[in-house]
């Protein structure tokens, strides 16, 4: 559990500042579950430069509660949580100082989004909150007010969590927690999981990932792990001390994240990960009469496949499908051994390429249309699909036919501005496997929208 925190102060000498405003959002890694926002009477004058910066003046604070009146609420909302703040050292010092004046030792673990951003966004021009969130297209209102800055920090932290492919944030929090053990009943872990699409992680006592997977219903899938009686499942049950998850909003993003994180984390209980996710392909050639032929065959590393499949049957089914859609010829594509014309010629669903009645140029144009529709080769596109919550969209970037990464967007201007778009996208490795995952998915399922990108 995290608490995203921002504090405004009076300014003044070190350790003599007073709190003028505080905003706290309790965040479970996915949504805000509680919040506390209040002006605070610091019982001292505010420095003029702070008034100009924040707009908070002495008159506004005369009737505000004093710190001791909100202290109990601060303790409660931050209990058993890690404080997350932009320049966390400052906010944490101010809080500890205020509580020390009340004779209370306030101790919490902290995470600093400045330090995290330096690790996970190494190319940022500036790590000041205002400039950083602006470069990422994150909207910020009421800058230099506690809640405005806290909400901007929350959006920044969500982005950092999604970019943290090595799970360093989660591991650092888990390792530092004093309670190493959860409830002995493994099923208790399932209660807080969502029945939504995403990637789930089973962790051991050190926070290391021992198994990960993707599912359209995370809760149901993890429950199956804990109720399975196989020897492997029992070993996993014994070692699992924590379950975490990331909602992806859609299955394609889940497949891509699962693929990337299996390679990156190599969990001990995941089966040996396949170097190649496909076994067959559809290959392009030109027959002696000048017609482009598409044929299904086992993967040939020396040749570039138009599309890849898990079986010969899958590849041939694809050819049957595009024959019908684009009026192609089964004989040209090696699916018919007819001596004369193919069987579809008499039904007018083949235009006669098999007996050279249709010119090769017009036939080949339809082949190219079919390839263009079902291949991402050389395309620069953004595949848009459902996000993790209402109003959010997931974007999967393809550049020159290569998968570049994925990210989440709330506003159209984030998508239309290529520089903001690429700063929000979490870079991920693109290879033959990711091309196979994306192409296979697009052949079978619909996405919300596909946008052409101009780089």
* Per-residue pLDDT reduced to its tens digit, 298-318: 999 889 899 999 999 999 999
Q: For residue 113, which of 160, 150, 77, 78 has the smallest C-alpha distance?
A: 160
Cβ atoms of 312 and 334 closer than 8 Å: no
Question: At 141, is the pLDDT very low, low, confident or very high (cuts 50, 70, 90)?
Answer: confident
Cβ atoms of 438 and 375 closer than 8 Å: no
Cβ atoms of 276 and 432 closer than 8 Å: yes
Q: 103: exposed, middle or buried (C-beta count within 10 Å: 0-12, 13-18, 19+)?
A: exposed
Confidence (pLDDT) at 229: 74
The answer to which of 13-22, 168-177, 231-240, 415-424 has the lowest mean pLDDT is: 168-177
Question: At 401, is the pLDDT very low, low, confident or very high (cuts 50, 70, 90)?
Answer: very high
Q: Is the torsion defined by CA of 58, 60, 66, 71 positive or negative? A: negative
Strands, sheet with 280-286, edge to edge from the N-terminal-most edge strand:
292-298, 280-286, 307-309
d(C-alpha 248, C-alpha 217), whole Å: 11
d(C-alpha 290, C-alpha 334), whole Å: 15
* Mean pLDDT, range 22-48, rounded to an integer: 90
pLDDT at 277 over 60: yes
Task: Round the average pLDDT of the chain to a whole number and report it.
Answer: 86
At residue 318, φ and ψ (nearest 5 deg) are: -60, -45
Report the residue count for the chain.
Answer: 455
pLDDT at 176 over 60: no
Of 192 and 308, the one with more pLDDT? 308
pTM over 0.75: no
Q: pLDDT by residue (tens digit) across 214-223?
A: 999 998 899 8
Q: pLDDT by residue (tens digit) across 81-133?
A: 999 999 888 888 889 888 888 888 888 888 888 888 888 888 888 888 988 88
CA atoms within 13 A on the CB side of 211: 20
Q: 230: exposed, middle or buried (C-beta count within 10 Å: 0-12, 13-18, 19+)?
A: exposed
pLDDT at 4 over 90: yes
Strand partners, 37: 23
Q: pLDDT by residue (tens digit) across 45-84?
A: 888 888 888 888 888 888 899 999 999 999 999 998 999 9
Q: Which residues contact 293 (CB under 8 A, 6 or more apart)?
A: 284, 285, 286, 287, 332, 333, 334
Cβ atoms of 24 and 5 closer than 8 Å: yes
For residue 164, the tally of other CB atoms under 10 A from its CB is 17
Of 417 and 74, the one with more pLDDT? 74
d(C-alpha 143, C-alpha 150), whole Å: 10
The answer to which of 143-157, 170-184, 380-394 has the lowest mean pLDDT is: 170-184
Of 127 and 144, the one with more pLDDT? 127
pLDDT at 344 over 80: no
Confidence (pLDDT) at 384: 93
Percent of the chain residues past pLDDT 70, beyond the cut:
93
* Mean pLDDT, range 426-448, rounded to an integer: 92
3-state SS, residue 402: strand
Q: Which helix (H) or strand (E) holds 69?
A: helix 67-78
The answer to which of 116-130, 280-294, 359-373, 433-447 has the lowest mean pLDDT is: 116-130
pLDDT at 136 over 90: no
Confidence (pLDDT) at 173: 67
Q: Which helix (H) or strand (E) holds 7?
A: strand 2-9
Q: Is the torsion defined by CA of 88, 90, 93, 99 positive or negative? A: negative
Q: Which two tokens stand for residue 188?
A: 């208790």
d(C-alpha 139, C-alpha 217), whole Å: 31
* Mean pLDDT, range 391-411, rounded to an integer: 91
Cβ atoms of 64 and 40 closer than 8 Å: yes
Residue 197 CA, distance from chain mean position: 12
d(C-alpha 142, C-alpha 23), whole Å: 12
Reduced to 3 DSSP states, what percent helix, strand and coil does the chain have, rounded to the nearest 5? 40, 20, 40
């Amino acid at each position: 559990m995290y608490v995203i925190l921002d504090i405004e102060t009076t300014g003044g000498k070190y350790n003599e500042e007073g709190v003028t405003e505080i905003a706290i959002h309790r965040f479970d890694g996915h949504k805000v579950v509680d919040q506390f926002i209040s002006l605070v009477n610091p019982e001292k004058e505010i420095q003029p430069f702070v008034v100009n910066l924040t707009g908070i003046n002495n008159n506004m604070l005369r009737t505000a509660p004093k710190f001791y009146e909100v202290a109990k609420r601060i303790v409660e909302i931050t209990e058993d949580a890690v404080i997350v703040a932009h320049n966390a050292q400052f906010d944490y010092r101010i809080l500890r100082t205020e509580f020390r004046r009340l004779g209370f030792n306030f101790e919490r673990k902290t995470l600093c989004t400045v330090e995290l951003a330096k690790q996970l966004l190494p190319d940022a021009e500036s790590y000041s909150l205002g400039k950083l969130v602006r470069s990422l297209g994150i909207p910020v209102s009421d800058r230099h007010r506690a809640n405005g800055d806290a909400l901007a920090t929350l959006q920044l932290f969500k982005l950092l969590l999604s970019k943290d492919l090595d799970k360093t944030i989660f591991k650092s929090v888990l390792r530092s927690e004093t309670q190493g053990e959860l409830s002995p009943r493994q099923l208790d872990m399932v209660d807080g999981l969502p029945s939504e699409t995403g990637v789930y992680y089973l962790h051991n006592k050190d926070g290391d990932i021992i198994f990960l997977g993707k599912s359209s219903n995370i809760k149901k899938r993890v429950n199956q792990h804990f109720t399975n009686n196989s020897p492997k499942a029992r070993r996993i049950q014994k070692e699992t001390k924590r379950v975490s998850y990331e909602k992806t909003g859609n299955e394609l993003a889940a497949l891509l994240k699962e693929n990337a994180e299996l390679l990156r984390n190599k969990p001990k209980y995941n089966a040996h990960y396949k170097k190649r996710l496909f076994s067959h392909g559809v290959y392009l050639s030109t027959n002696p009469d000048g017609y482009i032929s598409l044929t299904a065959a086992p993967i040939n590393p020396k040749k570039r496949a138009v599309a890849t499949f898990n079986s010969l049957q899958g590849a041939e089914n694809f050819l049957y499908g595009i024959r019908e859609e684009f009026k192609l010829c089964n004989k040209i594509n090696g699916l018919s051994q007819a001596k004369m014309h193919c069987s579809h010629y008499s039904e007018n669903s083949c235009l006669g390429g098999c007996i050279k009645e249709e010119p090769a140029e017009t036939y080949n144009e339809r082949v190219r249309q079919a390839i263009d529709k079902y291949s991402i080769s050389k395309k620069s596109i953004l595949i848009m699909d459902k996000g993790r919550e209402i109003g959010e969209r997931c974007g999967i970037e393809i550049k020159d036919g290569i998968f570049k990464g994925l990210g989440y967007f709330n506003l159209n201007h984030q998508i239309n501005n290529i520089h903001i778009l690429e700063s929000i996208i979490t870079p991920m490795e693109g290879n033959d496997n990711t091309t196979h995952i994306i192409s296979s998915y697009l052949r079978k399922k619909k996405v919300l929208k596909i946008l052409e990108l101009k780089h």
